[in-house]
A and B are shown apart, each in its own frame.
Chain A
Amino acid sequence: DGGITQSPKYLFRKEGQNVTLSCEQNLNHDAMYWYRQDPGQGLRLIYYSQIVNDFQKGDIAEGYSVSREKKESFPLTVTSAQKNPTAFYLCASGTGGYGYTFGSGTRLTVV
């Protein structure tokens, strides 16, 4: 079945550490997105990529980095510069014309 796979489901980060969240899709979508979800704040766009080797900052990109070396993969790195990384992270792919598909999410906690 086509879909989006996010891993790991739970991730713990120590202070000053970089961590990488994985997102893989087999839907043959060009565009992929990363969102952050905090309680009471809804979904906020971190980064998006419309095509391989290209990506743009979203509304809250500071402290995050991404790469898009393959069409299927769009990993997100939460760097030590992100001061409040504890949140639920969602990856999506799709297009405004035909709708979006979301992954099951990664919950990141700072320990």
Chain B
Amino acid sequence: KQEVTQIPAALSVPEGENLVLNCSFTDSAIYNLQWFRQDPGKGLTSLLLIQSSQREQTSGRLNASLDKSSGRSTLYIAASQPGDSATYLCAVPTWTSNDYKLSFGAGTTVTVRA
């Protein structure tokens, strides 16, 4: 059974500091890993999808790395802003007998102080 862990559970940084969010998974037989952002009371917004064949994926100030063999992914957010305050979730699909099962981490809640 795939288990996904996110550390730390919460993070508070001053504006301008770089953010490093960690995600680890127990079953390395993954197809990809997806990072989401969730604002309070809102749905999940996809940030980055990194395929298992990729080492990293970038979008603006966001960069996600993937080390499949060690079961880890890291989301880097450069030059953080108060608008980056949210909960960040990583999700990993694993193939079961007839479908993908999406396993989520519990999330890292980020607060960026102005």
The interface of chain A, by Cβ under 8 A from chain B, is 6, 31, 33, 42-43, 45, 48, 50, 56, 88, 90, 92, 95-105, 107
Contact = CB atoms under 8 A, between A and B. Distances in A.
Nearest to A10: B41
A97 B46 contact: no
A98 B102 CA distance: 12
Contacts, number: 56
Given A95-B93, A96-B32, A103-B43, 18 more contacts: A42-B106, A43-B89, A45-B101, A45-B102, A50-B99, A90-B43, A92-B44, A96-B95, A96-B100, A97-B31, A97-B93, A99-B34, A99-B46, A100-B46, A101-B46, A102-B36, A102-B45, A102-B46
Given A6-B43, A90-B43, A105-B43, A100 B106 contact: no
A90 B44 contact: yes
